[in-house]
Amino acid sequence: MNAPEIPPCFDARPLGRRRTRHRWTLAVLAAAVQFSYVSPAAAQATDATTAVHFLEQASFGPTALEVATVQAIGPPAWVQDQLTVPESPIPDGLDGTAVRAQVYLNMANGPDQLRQRAIFALSQTIVISANKVGGGPELTHWMRLLSRNAFGNFRTLLQDVSLSPTMGKYLDNVFNRRATSTTSPNENYARELLQLFSIGTWQLNNDGTQKVDGVGNPIPSYSQTTIAHFARALTGWTYAPLPGASHGNSNPENFLANLVPTSSASRHDTTAKTLLSGVITPAGLTAAGDLQWVLDNIFNHPNVPPFIATRLIRSLVTSNPSPEYVARVSAAFINNGAGVRGDLSAVFSAILLDPEALSPTAALHGRLKDPVLHVIGLGRALNAQIGDPGSFQNVFTNLSQRVLTPATVFSFYQPTAKIASNPSLFGPEFQLYPPALAVQRANFIYGILTNQYGSAFSVDMTPFRVVAGNPTALVDKVSATLMMGRMSPQLRQVILDATNAVPASDPNQRALGAVYLAAISSEYSVYTGGFTAGGVIPTDLQGPTGLYVAQVVGNIAMLRWNPPLLGPRPDGYILEGGLSAGQTMVAVPTGNQAPFFTVAAPNGSFYVRMRAYRGGAQSLPSNEVRLHINAALRPGAPTNVQGAIKGSALFLAWRNSYTGGTPDYLMLDVTGPATVSVPLPLSESWSLPGAPDGTWTFRLRAVNAAGASSQSGSVSVTAPSTTCALPRVPMNFTVNTGGNVVSLSWDTPSGGTPAAYYMLNVSGAFNGAFPITARNFASPAPPGTYNFSIRAVNACGVGPVTAYQTVTIP
Amino acid sequence: MHTHKPARRHFLKLSTRLATLGLTGLGLGPGRSWFVADAEAATVVSDYKALVAVYLFGGNDCNNVIVPVDTARYTKYQQIRAGLTLQAGNLLPQIGDAAGNPYALHSSLVEVNALYGIGKAAFVLNTGQLEQPLTRTQYQSGVLAPSNLFSHSDQTLQAQTATSNQTIGGWGGRLLDAFSGNDTLAAVSVSSPAPFLQSGGGAPNVIPPGASLNLSGMNISPSSAAAARRAAVNAMLALDNGHPLRTAANDAFADGLQLADTLNNVGTVSNLATVFPGSGLGTQLREVMKLIRLRSQLGPGRQVFFCSMGGFDTHTNQVGNHNALLTELSQAMGAFYLASVETGLSNQVTTFTQSEFGRTLQPNGTGTDHAWGSHQIVVGGAVRGGIYGQMPDFTLGGLDDANDRGVWIPKISTSQFGATLGKWFGASPGELAVAFPNLGLFTTSDVGFML
């Protein structure tokens, strides 16, 4: 590669226009990049501390080369670049052990470090385990699925997961059938799809905090009845028939193709089901049709953005993200900037490029490294040769984290776990760091540094040994290698003392001791962003934030806010209010720690704010908001209007606003084929079972005695929905024979939704149906008469069948 | 900070009491004089006892653990269980409860059956998570039920904490709070880290069976260099730059080092004649027996252990899988009891099963789905052998069914089950009320299965 191959600058071109052939110039010529061009990113050179911390979050650990790259081009360009790095492959034909080894090697050595880190995070959110699906084909299918979708759309990921034969086997949906006289549908996949993979058990705000009902209790996301209905909607699937085999209801295992509907449609429960958000599926849908309803219903649930954002932030950046950080990542999930919901590349970018990730200021920012991150990160920093892990995988088993082999569908640890010794903080990874395992992890690292694992993990200690005659130089070398020169003076002194106690005649032991102590220190095992916490953790009471009026009914108002993230926990809060900004006419203690308060207020318009109190101390006030009680003010317009067509049913949802007078009712303004205004009660959703055809635009106004608000933003939908349409019939289906060879060919359907694959049906001397992605097929056939037909299939289901073509082989 | 450090544990206990009085929300934290007085009030024990939890991850299908075999009930069982029915060949010979009702155990439970025969095993029927006593009518009308029923993670947490309040730790850890003198071996998991063992004192210990707990790289020469390296480790564990996550990581490491020191100081134990099965649970229980012997020879004290088996989430292919699981369970519990007899500790050690829920009586095909109340097994020399509680009425949609698939509403709460063990353990009624915050809502705190 010559210098002119280096792009002249790194710009913000859209992904599709980036030329991937420049990709590896970055990794190989990182140093040259620093000198050979100046880009806007390079102009704001990233300091080493930020680069190291960024790479701890975005990769399996910084290396000298990657640090130099990030310093040169900056984190945004690095992320953009990584989004297009080709996936590290999982080769064909590996057995289960070899797949797990390959996954680990991709983590350690893959050039697609961000994708590998994303896969690791996703694999702990949407979980399978080699304990049940441990074969090569199972794991290969799964890892390719995660890798392919890591920067794709979450809706596609959910669909691929739901049709995955590996997941079908792991959570038992593969032969899930509708209720019989003695059995009910299998609820396993339905439950975990909702609880673990998408929305969780409690309704969430966009900032990840729990929604609460009128009396302050969290609100369940669904009930057991919901689970039963989802389980029914997910009936009627089986493995794809093996090539040449007939298609039935219980096909043998096949991990080379997605699940397919059973040959008998009656395995699927075709009755109507009530899904989330009150959505009811029409009766009579196929298994494939119902699946689309299920996935759309989940994907559009308001919990998905904060739920997934929180999981991924915890996995990559920090165990204790601020609600504001979660809200910013949720917003990227809801809209990637181009109006697309669920774009995971936007989500990962938002997570890693957020100020809270890049320049953390919170004293509790950071996370304990998982065993895999700790060990692989050490190897990358030491430029170790990391090879086939082979038998030393069992050490990871003892550390509770062998890749792709979690004990349960909850993965290696509960993502919501607090730290046992400090239950005010989240620290999920601490579940893998109880006392005995902390020592076991250190012992594993000692084994690595003493090269006990041969070619599986080979460390060259020479660079340390050659400077071991000078303890200061040795410790500087350790600091430069493991901590990019950021070792604290205190740790440095501790390691110096231990090094000085080893005779200079034993450079091996000096080098080993210095690296070992640094590698097992909490300065290395916990990444904290280089944030110097000493003296910065506030010891005085901090104020609440994010105050808003959640609801007003008559003279009763409900206020919500965020508790202070840092500092002492308040005993409670004080609501202050007055008639002008900053004025305090009344101060009402809430009496408890809940971050919401229902207050009866006289008629009028007030300025209110909250303070925290603890003992006799009070914090500074929160933001101030207006509270209008029965005020002769027009309401504020509803916000966040969203709409969707599902089949012929229309669904609208929005948020009411209390920034003005309290709304009494709403007016829905409809334009399109007809123009009409419909009064609605004060709610936050509306649906219409049969929406007339056409493109409709909806706006809302809130109304009270003082008048109507301005119109909300609009949402437009088109009925009938075109998002899920069956493919049309394949064209030009021809069957020819030559000797005993039957040749079939056909063309794509004319127009309509494209086919994902085709289903070839055979009857006569041979009976069967099997999927095929090509549009031609030739095979010798035994004598007999055969009838062939072909149907196109897509995510919505199976399209209409062609006319039969009959041939006879003499 | 050391595990089960009395100061932390008793601080927690007091906080819990204040919380039950509704006081913490008012900012009335515990004053120092209360704290000291409470620490002195902890029970000083004069004997040694251990509780051993065997947790069955996934939700054990209790309906096929013990089956009523009188004609009326077996017929109903058979009708609903369909293909999962245990036929005569899959059931052990009849046993009876105190009233003479006939039952039979799953044919894999050979060792447990033998222990029942000598009065050392008890079955506690239809026990599980409850906020308060609950009927079907009350449940369906929305009377307070445990949150997130049927969810593995939530019900696992609730089974281990006997409460929906995560912040007060597990009931094993809270029972230990009643006693003074707890050390680093007081709460040990030989499986995964368990909420069951947690309390205010910090993370309980996890000791993988057979693992070396000594820190590597500490034996170098000269001895002055070795001493300096160990001193460096200790010094490093005090460096946290004020960061709470680093503090927690250092605490875990420090506790691990102290655990190794403790184990090195308590000496060794001889080999037992009892042979433990080589299964996962057998290996865990062998480690537990070793730790019990090491600790009990030091004198009076209390230990709580956590072992586990996975794989009970039998949504498909239940028949073969459940056979294998119950075989492993029975063989390991049998060997553990024999070892306790061999060491003379059988009256001081009680082993019991727990699981997040039972499974639907009605199958889903070849398996079963998540349900609620379940039957548990208790084994030990201090167990009053028998069958306790009430077998649910096998009627889909009947009075014992939370919905319509045979999802049993528990009649004995996890709190009552735990308190029965806790009373034997030596906790006073007041201490039991702290360990099990909603115990007072149930009519009895002693189910009767302990002598």
Provide the residue type at B302 as one letter.
R
Higher pLDDT, A25 or A664: A664
What is the rounded CA–CA span in Å between residue B345 and residue B380? 9
- pLDDT tens per residue, range B318-334: 999 999 999 999 999 99
The most confident of A3-17, B170-184, B415-429, by mean pLDDT: B415-429
- pLDDT tens per residue, range A260-299: 999 999 999 999 999 999 999 999 999 999 999 999 999 9
Q: Is the pLDDT of residue B6 over 50?
A: no
Kindly state the tokens that stand for A224: 């057991």
Q: What residue ranges in A450-583 does DSSP mark as E strands?
A: 457-458, 526-527, 545-553, 556-562, 572-578
Q: What does the pLDDT read at residue A708?
A: 93
Nearest CA in chain B to A538: B242
Of A366, A407, A435, the CB nearest to B3: A435
Residue reference for tokens 């004293």: A363
- pLDDT tens per residue, range A512-523: 999 999 999 999
DSSP symbols for A509-547: HHHHHHHHHHHHSHHHHEE-TT---TTTS--SPPPPEEE
**Contact flag A364-B360 (C-beta cutoff 8 Å):** no
For strands B205-206 and A545-553, give the pairing: unpaired
**Contact flag A512-B217 (C-beta cutoff 8 Å):** yes
Q: What does the pLDDT read at residue A42?
A: 34
Q: Average pLDDT in the B297-315 region? A: 93
Q: Which residues of A touch B16 (CB under 8 A)?
A: none
- pLDDT tens per residue, range B169-194: 789 998 998 887 777 789 999 988 78
Confidence band for A128, pLDDT divided at 50, 70 and 90? very high
Q: What does the pLDDT read at residue A216?
A: 85
What is the rounded CA–CA span in Å between residue B427 and residue A193? 42
Q: Which residues of A touch B237 (CB under 8 A)?
A: 522
Angle at B333 between CA B328 and CA B338, to 5 degrees: 130
DSSP symbols for B219-237: --SSHHHHHHHHHHHHHHT
**Contact flag B57-A418 (C-beta cutoff 8 Å):** no
C-alpha A799, offset from chain centre: 33
| Chain B (208-237) residues lying within 8 Å, Cβ to Cβ, of chain A | 208, 211-217, 220, 222, 224-225, 227-229, 231-233, 235-237
Q: What does the pLDDT read at residue B166?
A: 56
Query: What is the number of other CB atoms lying within 10 angstroms of the CB of residue B450?
Result: 18
B165 touches chain A (CB under 8 A): no
The separation between the first and the last C-alpha atoms of chain B, rounded to the nearest angstrom, is: 37
Burial of A600 (0-12, 13-18, 19+ CB in 10 A): exposed
Of B192, B220, B239, the CB nearest to A400: B192
Nearest CA in chain B to A495: B232
Q: Distance (Å) from the C-alpha of residue B243 to the closest C-alpha of chain A?
A: 6
* Percent of chain A topping pLDDT 70: 88
Contacts 24+ apart (CB under 8 A), A28-34: A28/A1, A29/A1, A30/A65, A30/A66, A30/A68, A30/A69, A30/A72, A31/A68, A32/A3, A32/A6, A33/A6, A33/A69, A33/A72, A33/A73, A34/A68, A34/A71, A34/A72
Q: What residue ranges in A253-412 does DSSP mark as E strands?
A: 260-261, 367-368, 385-386
Residue reference for tokens 């080894």: A101
B185 touches chain A (CB under 8 A): no
- pLDDT tens per residue, range A443-481: 999 999 999 998 889 999 999 999 999 999 999 899 888
**Cis omega before residue B222 (within 30°)?**
yes
**Contact flag B189-A434 (C-beta cutoff 8 Å):** yes
What is the rounded CA–CA span in Å between residue B126 and residue B410? 5
Judge contact between B389 and B125, C-beta under 8 A.
Answer: yes
A585 Rama sector, left if φ>0, alpha if ψ -120 to 50, beta otherwise: alpha
Of B147, B229, B241, the CB nearest to A513: B229
Task: Name which of A27-31, A132-136, A356-360, A398-402 the model is least confident about.
Answer: A27-31
Judge contact between A377 and A180, C-beta under 8 A.
Answer: no
- pLDDT tens per residue, range B210-254: 777 899 999 999 999 999 999 999 999 999 888 889 999 998 899
Using only the alpha carbons of chain A, give its radius of gyration.
Answer: 30
* Percent of chain B topping pLDDT 90: 68
- pLDDT tens per residue, range A414-440: 888 888 777 788 999 998 898 888 999
Nearest CA in chain A to B368: A186
- pLDDT tens per residue, range A11-49: 223 333 333 222 222 222 222 222 222 233 333 457 777
Shortest CA distance to B143 belongs to which of B131, B126, B159? B131
Q: Which residues of B touch A418 (CB under 8 A)?
A: 166-167
Q: What does the pLDDT read at residue A725?
A: 64
Q: Distance (Å) from the C-alpha of residue A610 to the closest C-alpha of chain B?
A: 17
B57 touches chain A (CB under 8 A): yes
Q: What does the pLDDT read at residue A547?
A: 81
Of A421, A450, A525, the CB nearest to B251: A421
What is the rounded CA–CA span in Å between residue A75 and residue A47? 11
Q: Which residues of A touch B166 (CB under 8 A)?
A: 418
What is the rounded CA–CA span in Å between residue A609 and residue A585? 12
What is the rounded CA–CA span in Å between residue B447 and residue B125? 11
Q: Is the pLDDT of residue B278 over 90?
A: yes
Provide the residue type at B123 as one letter.
F
B316 touches chain A (CB under 8 A): yes
Judge contact between A417 and A426, C-beta under 8 A.
Answer: yes
Which of A396, A446, A512, A526 to mutate to test binding with chain B, by most B CBs within 10 Å of its CB? A526
**Contact flag B27-A502 (C-beta cutoff 8 Å):** no
Q: Which residues of B touch A503 (CB under 8 A)?
A: 222, 225
Residue reference for tokens 């055809």: A693
**Contact flag B206-A437 (C-beta cutoff 8 Å):** yes
**Contact flag B152-A501 (C-beta cutoff 8 Å):** no
**Contact flag B152-A409 (C-beta cutoff 8 Å):** yes
What is the rounded CA–CA span in Å between residue A614 and residue B23? 14
Q: Distance (Å) from the C-alpha of residue A50 to the closest C-alpha of chain B?
A: 18
Q: What does the pLDDT read at residue A768?
A: 62
Q: Which residues of B touch A363 (CB under 8 A)?
A: 242-244
Of A410, A425, A434, the CB nearest to B244: A425
B17 touches chain A (CB under 8 A): no
**Contact flag B211-A615 (C-beta cutoff 8 Å):** no
What is the rounded CA–CA span in Å between residue B262 and residue B3? 12
Size of interface A-B (CB pairs under 8 A): 262
Q: Which residues of A touch B370 (CB under 8 A)?
A: 187, 191
What is the rounded CA–CA span in Å between residue A796 and residue A805? 26
Nearest CA in chain A to B146: A220
Q: Distance (Å) from the C-alpha of residue A58 to the closest C-alpha of chain B?
A: 20
What SS3 class is residue B51? strand
Q: What does the pLDDT read at residue A342?
A: 96
Judge contact between A730 and A788, C-beta under 8 A.
Answer: no
Q: Is the pLDDT of residue A531 over 70?
A: no
Of B25, B247, B316, the CB nearest to A591: B25
Of B3, B149, B211, the CB nearest to A440: B211
A535 Rama sector, left if φ>0, alpha if ψ -120 to 50, beta otherwise: left
Judge contact between B172 and B196, C-beta under 8 A.
Answer: yes
Judge contact between A240 and A166, C-beta under 8 A.
Answer: no
What letter does residue B272 receive in the DSSP assignment? Answer: P
**Contact flag B148-A201 (C-beta cutoff 8 Å):** yes
- pLDDT tens per residue, range B9-44: 333 333 333 333 322 222 222 222 222 223 335 678
Q: Which residues of B touch A571 (CB under 8 A)?
A: 25-27
B240 touches chain A (CB under 8 A): yes
Judge contact between A698 and A668, C-beta under 8 A.
Answer: yes
Nearest CA in chain B to A183: B364
C-alpha A583, offset from chain centre: 44
- pLDDT tens per residue, range A573-612: 999 988 888 888 888 888 887 777 888 888 888 899 999 9
Residues 6+ positions from A479 with CB-CB distance below 8 Å: A485, A486, A487, A492, A518
Of A172, A443, A516, the CB nearest to B315: A172
| Chain B (343-372) residues lying within 8 Å, Cβ to Cβ, of chain A | 360, 362-365, 367, 369-370
Q: Is the pLDDT of residue A752 over 80?
A: no
Q: Average pLDDT in the A69-96 region? A: 89
Q: What does the pLDDT read at residue A613?
A: 92
Largest CA distance in chain B: 79
**Contact flag B203-A509 (C-beta cutoff 8 Å):** no
**Contact flag B243-A572 (C-beta cutoff 8 Å):** no
What is the rounded CA–CA span in Å between residue B77 and residue B274? 38
Residue reference for tokens 């439950």: A191
Q: Which residues of A touch B22 (CB under 8 A)?
A: none
Q: What does the pLDDT read at residue A2?
A: 35
**Contact flag B202-A502 (C-beta cutoff 8 Å):** no
- pLDDT tens per residue, range A678-711: 888 888 777 776 777 788 899 999 999 889 999 9
What letter does residue B408 receive in the DSSP assignment? Answer: B
* Mean of all residue pLDDT scores within chain B: 86
